[in-house]
Amino acid sequence: MAARSLAGNVALGFFAVAFVLIAVAFGTPSWLVSDYRITGARLDRLGLWTHCFRSLPDPQDPYQRRFFVGCRWIYDPFTTGYDEIRGYLVPGFMVATQFFFTICFICMLVGAVLSLLYFLCCGPDMSKFVLLIKVDALVTLVAGVCGGIAVIVFASLANRNGWMPGHSNNFFGWSFALACIGVVCVLVASALFFTDATIQKKKKQHLKDSQTRFELEHESKA
């Protein structure tokens, strides 16, 4: 009885790709970027946790006497006035994007542990093998759903007029693209894990039935 079916092996591959893509997207600041050809652009790029500006005027100062330049962590406590514009930098849809993509990332970490157990430690002879695969499938499904909500919310609202300056010259960056691809990969991995769980369950039942028939045949001959 093979430890993993083809579906399980392919699921591990998709999960590994998804984990790398989602982890990179989670920590890099290129979800929304400005066209580099626009010399007067005020936005450089932004991510979930870091914003980079070329010259962003204080949105709360009508006289534009203060500008923010360079890259900063969204919760930077050291730059004067940065905490005062946090509500502008992180509106409601960004909070939702951060929340759901963080849940996605946490689920991917849990899924990585389960996948390692599945790949390195556990086999079909263990009583909880099918349960392990199902839990892994469920965790990756939650990751995919939460990640999907995050990228849909961001895609729908991030480049709208009235938020980041020069929205007509802004576009979704490579970090956002990696997040989208990672979400698709993890959903595929989840489907394959569910498939593998079904296959392994059938194998166990078939093996059990075969053993039962063998015992009955042995008793009848005896």
What ranges do the domains of the chain cover?
6-221
| pLDDT for the residue numbered 222 | 55
| pLDDT for the residue numbered 3 | 63
- Please provide the average confidence, as pLDDT, over all residues in the chain: 86
Structure tokens belonging to residue 104: 């996605």
**95 burial level (CB within 10 Å; 0-12, 13-18, 19+):** exposed
Question: In this prediction, what percent of the chain has a pLDDT beyond 90?
Answer: 49
6-221: CATH class: mainly alpha
pTM as predicted: 0.85
| pLDDT for the residue numbered 120 | 82
Residue 39 banded pLDDT, cuts 50, 70, 90: confident
Strand-pair category, 32-34 with 170-172:
antiparallel
| pLDDT for the residue numbered 54 | 86
Residue 1 banded pLDDT, cuts 50, 70, 90: very low
Distance, in Å, from the CA atom of 49 to the CA atom of 72, rounded to the nearest integer, reads 9
Q: How many residues does the chain have?
A: 222
The model's pLDDT over 132-146, given as tens digits with 9 standing for 90+, comes to: 999 999 999 999 999
Residue 79 banded pLDDT, cuts 50, 70, 90: confident
| pLDDT for the residue numbered 148 | 97
